[in-house]
Amino acid sequence: MRATQSPDGSRRRRFRSVVRGIRGRQPEPTDRSGDPDLLALVAEPYTDVEAVHRELGALLRAFETREDRRAVFLGIYARMTDAVGRRVQRRAFTDPDWVADYLVAFANRYRVAVRDFETGDTDALADPWWLAFEAADGGDSLVLQDAMLGVNAHINYDLALALDDVGVGADRPSKYADHCAVIDVIAELVDEAQDGLADRDADGLAALDSSLGRFDEWLTVVTIDECRDSAWRTAVAMDSRFRSRRRVARWLNDRTATGAAHLIRSSRSSDRVHDALVDLERTDG
C-alpha cells in the first residue's frame, strides 16, 4: 500500500523543485540526433511575418503527424501569432513595423529552442525549454502542463530576450503601448485556445471550463498580461547602461522561468495526485 503523503511534505517537495530551478542548470548532454525532417523545418531563420505564419504552420502539422506533444503549445502559439500578424498587416499598431520585427524575433526564439532540443544541444538550450520539451517528449505529463510549460518558456523566458533583440530604447512609450495592445489579441483567443486543448485528449477540460464560467478566461488573461508586463520590465533593465543591471536582469529572467517550470511540473512529486489529475483532465464530465 502506498504511504499517504502529508500536505507539508508535498509543499516541501514543491519548494525544493523551485529552489533547484533557481540554483542552477539541470539538463545533461544527450546523444539525441534529431528528426531530420523537423530539423529542416527549423534550420533557417524566419525573415518576416509571412514566413513565421508559413513555417510555424508546417512545424505544427509535423508535430501533429508524429503525435508529438509539443503540438499542444505550438497549436496555441501559432494561432495567436497569426492573429497578431493579421493586425500588423492591417497596420493596426502605432508602429506596425516594430511589432512585425518583434513577432519575427519572438518566433525565432522558439525555432532555435526546437532546433537545440532536436540536436541534443543542451548547452545552448535554455532550461525552461529543456524542461518543457523533455516533459512533452516523455508523454506522461498533463495536456495542461504541456501548454503551461510552453507558455512559461516562451513568455517568462523568451519574450524579454525577443524585446531586447528588437530594442525598446527609442520611442519607448509608443513601443510599450504596442506591446500592451497584443494582450487584446490574446483575450480574444482564450476561449478558442481552451477548446483546442479540450479536443486534444483532454475532454475533462471542457467540463471544467463550463463549470468556471468566465472566471478561468479572466484569470488566464490577467496572468499572461502580468507575465508580459514583467517581460517588458526585464527588457528595459537589459537596455540599461549599467552592465551589472543587464547581467542581473538576464540571470533573473532565466532562473525565475526555470523555477516556474519546476513548479508547473510539481504534480509529478506525487503519483497519486498526478494520476488523479490525468483522470480529471481526460474524463468528460
Q: How does pLDDT run across 222-258, given as a tens digit for each residue?
A: 788 899 999 999 999 999 999 999 999 999 999 999 9
pLDDT given for residue 223 in this prediction: 83
11 vs 230 pLDDT, higher one: 230
* Confidence (pLDDT) at 13: 44
Whether the predicted pLDDT of 285 surpasses 60: no
pLDDT at 168: 96
Report the pLDDT value the prediction gives residue 72, as an integer from 0 to 100. Answer: 92
Give the start-to-end residue ranges of the domains of the chain.
33-280
Looking at every residue in the chain, the average pLDDT score rounds to 81
Rounded CA-CA distance 160/157 in Å is 7
How far is CA 72 from its chain centroid? 10
Query: 203: helix, coil or strand?
Result: coil
Q: 164-194, pLDDT tens digit by residue?
A: 999 999 999 999 999 999 998 888 887 666 6
Cα distance between residue 80 and residue 84, in whole Å: 6
Summarised one tens digit per residue, pLDDT across range 13-31 is 444 444 554 554 455 545 5
CA-wise closest residue to 99 among 191, 166, 29: 166
Sign of CA dihedral 86, 57, 47, 176: positive
**DSSP secondary structure code for residue 156 in this structure:** I
In the numeric block, which cell numbers belong to residue 186?
490574446
* The residue type at 57: G
Residue range 25-52: average pLDDT? 83
Least confident of 86-90, 135-139, 161-165, 184-188: 184-188
pLDDT class for 98, splitting at 50, 70, 90? very high
Asked if 253 contacts 160 with a C-beta cutoff of 8 angstroms, the reply is yes
Instruction: Give the range among 109-113, 170-174, 199-203 with minimum mean pLDDT.
Output: 199-203
Model confidence pTM above 0.85: no
Q: What local confidence, expressed as pLDDT, does residue 11 receive?
A: 44
Contact indicator for 136, 146 with CB cutoff of 8 Å: yes
